[in-house]
Amino acid sequence: MARIAIDMDGVMADSTQQYINWYAARYGVQVEKASLLGKPETTGFPLEGVVRQFLYTPGFFRTKPVIPGSQEVIKALQEKHDVFIVSAAMEFPQSLSEKLAWLEDHFPFISWHNIVFCGYKNIVDADYMIDDHIKNLSTFKGEPLLFTAPHNVHVEGYKRVNTWEEVGALLL
């Protein structure tokens, strides 16, 4: 049994799709996901800066789509491993209650005991960390796994998991 720390945004919750959805609903332009590849998160949209503001808007975190496969694989991981959800939620205080409600909705099998909302993730003691940001993975003492997201496609030097199926193949 290993302890696995799993990030929310960009790993369980589809942040990129939510940026695209909210941008289309507010500015009438449907941005192609492919056009965001390799660009820093929240950038690459016609109007610069507005997507960053979504992060401070009530409802943004609450309504993110679920990344396919995450529910099934995390449920299976829980049966074999010690699974913690570790989200850097403190930067956006209004996201705390929204993220908790989102987890209850989509991952009701995860106990509150195993949820961590933090800032720096260097305080996390685990065997594996699945995250889409190297700022979180770079200080991790266990084995980091970079979950592929549009903003990190050009990142090198980390073991990568592209889908939840790949996570399952590795850890189940």
Q: Looking at the annotation, which residues are catalytic?
A: 7, 9
Rounded CA-CA distance 46/126 in Å is 40
We find the least distance from the C-beta atom of residue 78 to its own copies, in angstroms, to be: 14
Rounded CA-CA distance 117/172 in Å is 25
Among positive and negative, which fits the CA dihedral 154, 6, 50, 29?
Answer: positive
Name the site residues for its own copies (rule: CB under 8 A): 3, 5, 84, 86, 89-91, 93, 96-97, 100, 111-120, 122-126, 141
Which of 46/93 has CB closer to its own copies?
Answer: 93
Which of 13/31 has CB closer to its own copies?
Answer: 13
Which of 55/100 has CB closer to its own copies?
Answer: 100
Looking at residue 113, its amino acid is H
We find the least distance from the C-beta atom of residue 59 to its own copies, in angstroms, to be: 16
We find the least distance from the C-beta atom of residue 149 to its own copies, in angstroms, to be: 22
Distances (CA, A) of 57 to 51, 63, 68, 94, 154: 10, 11, 25, 8, 29
